[in-house]
Amino acid sequence: MTSQPDREQQFLESVRSSLDDAAESLDASALSRLTQARNKAMETGSKTRRQWVIWPAGAIMASAVLLLLLSPVFEHKPQPINQASLMADIEVISDSLGLEFYRDLYFYSWLSMDGRHAE
Amino acid sequence: MNERPLETSQAWDEFLKTVERRALLMARVATGFEDEAFDIVQDAMLGLVRKYRNKPVEELKPLFYRILQNRIRDWYRRQAVRRRWLSWGNMRPDNEGADYDPINNLPAPDSGNPAGLLIRDEAMKALDTALRRLPLRQQQTFLLRAWEGLTVSETALAMKCSVGTVKVQYFRALHTLREELEDHWP
């Protein structure tokens, strides 16, 4: 005579066996759909993984650029102001001849050269 | 990154292969619809890959079934809303109390639909019907414990409930199934 736990175990074995049979006997169409679902999930996973590779790489690049900009190589040193050139600039701006004259200096210089060649 | 993409990818593929058929049948038993079951399984696979990509494969099984169970519950919720709107509030039982769980008490979907592919012989037909008649929580707890072989704590994780609840649900399911299938498997 089989005990209660034994009968329960037999019952569970029968249930498992039937369910396993059902899982094993899925038709080709069902298996194909499952494969498609699995492939889609795996594809999504690899895309997500690639993004995870890209993000840290981008962060490293950005950090490198920032470090370079902050490094002594790129340190901005204020240039000493050339007093003579500054005075010349002020003269040009405040001159009564006006900016146009200085802009046309090249023309006047060419005109005088041209006149000499003509002689 | 210390991940080994190719091996990891193969291990994931192998893992999904080992659970996909059972997951599909569990979703079929739960919903009674083949297309819905496929959608649920695909969603669960996608959810697992997105959320637990960095987990070791050995830890995936309860997590996968947790997502699957979430998707099944979501499906039931949507069905409950549809039914409520269709029947305009007539589906709830009279003995509804504070502890009433509409998902747990939803009637099983009609087993006479085309998704009844479990049916191979009389015993299988009876098992299919008996499983579908069980309340969702009992049904899925039983399948996870008895068929998929999850431990009580893994089942609790998958079902989002306590260990004690798993034991109670499993016991009730087993008791009901043994009674209903007595003629086939005494």
Same domain as B186, residue B147 = yes
What are the residue ranges spanned by the domains of chain A?
Answer: 4-74, 83-118
Residues of chain B with Cβ-Cβ distance to A17 below 8 Å are: none
- ipTM for this prediction: 0.77
Same domain as B127, residue B83 = no
Q: Does some domain include residue B107?
A: no
Nearest to A19 by CA among B150, B138, B119: B119
Q: What is the mean pLDDT of chain A?
A: 73
Residue B172 sits in a domain whose CATH number is 1.10.10.10
pLDDT at B180 over 50: yes
User: Which pLDDT score, from 0 to 100, does residue B113 have?
Assistant: 47
What is the widest separation between alpha-carbon atoms in chain B? 58
Domain extent at residue B67? 1-97
Residues of chain B with Cβ-Cβ distance to A16 below 8 Å are: 146-147
> Which residue does chain B place closest to A7, by CA atoms?
B186
Fill in the DSSP letter of residue A26: -
Same domain as B123, residue B180 = yes
pLDDT single digits (tens) B20-52: 999 999 999 999 999 999 999 999 999 999 999
Nearest to B148 by CA among B75, B77, B60: B60
Residues of chain A with Cβ-Cβ distance to B50 below 8 Å are: 44-45, 48
Same domain as B165, residue B123 = yes
Q: Measured between CA atoms, how close is A74 to chain B, in angstroms?
A: 32
The predicted model gives A14-30 an average pLDDT of 93
CA distance B155 to A104: 91
Q: Is B53 on the interface with A (CB under 8 A)?
A: yes
Q: Does some domain include residue B21?
A: yes
CB contacts < 8 A (A, B): 101
Domain's final residue, options B40, B65, B97 = B97
Same domain as B86, residue B2 = yes
Same domain as B61, residue B3 = yes
Tell me the two tokens of residue A32.
Answer: 């194909």
Provide the terminal-to-terminal Cα distance of chain A, rounded to the nearest Å.
140
Q: Does some domain include residue B102?
A: no
Q: Is A49 on the interface with B (CB under 8 A)?
A: yes
Q: Is A94 on the interface with B (CB under 8 A)?
A: no
CB spacing of A38 vs B22 below 8 angstroms:
no
pLDDT at A103 over 70: no
Count of domains forming chain B: 2
Task: Report the range of poorest mean pLDDT among A47-51, B5-9, B113-117.
Answer: B113-117
Nearest to B13 by CA among A3, A118, A42: A42
Fill in the DSSP letter of residue A63: H
Q: Does some domain include residue B11?
A: yes
Domain's final residue, options B97, B130, B156 = B97
Same domain as B123, residue B67 = no
Nearest to B21 among A26, A40, A49 (CB): A26
> Which residue does chain B place closest to A39, by CA atoms?
B13
- How many residues are listed for chain A in this entry? 119
DSSP secondary structure letters along B1-62:
----HHHHHHHHHHHHHHHHHHHHHHHHHHHS-HHHHHHHHHHHHHHHHHHSTTS-GGGHHH
- Is the alpha carbon torsion for B31, B33, B38, B39 positive or negative? negative
The one-letter code for the residue type at A20 is D
- Tell me which range, A102-106, B118-122, B140-144, is most confidently predicted by mean pLDDT: B140-144
Q: State which H helix or E strand residue A86 sits in.
A: helix A83-94
Tell the burial category of B53 from Cβ atoms under 10 Å away from its Cβ (0-12, 13-18, 19+): middle
> Which residue does chain B place closest to A31, by CA atoms?
B21
Ramachandran area for residue A98 (φ above 0: left; ψ -120 to 50: alpha; else beta): left
Residues of chain A with Cβ-Cβ distance to B9 below 8 Å are: 42, 45-46
Same domain as B72, residue B38 = yes
pLDDT at B74 over 70: yes
Domain's final residue, options B47, B65, B97 = B97
CA distance B123 to A9: 17
CB atoms within 10 A of CB B180: 16
Q: Measured between CA atoms, how close is B177 to chain A, in angstroms?
A: 9
Tell me the two tokens of residue A22.
Answer: 């059902």
Q: Does some domain include residue B16?
A: yes
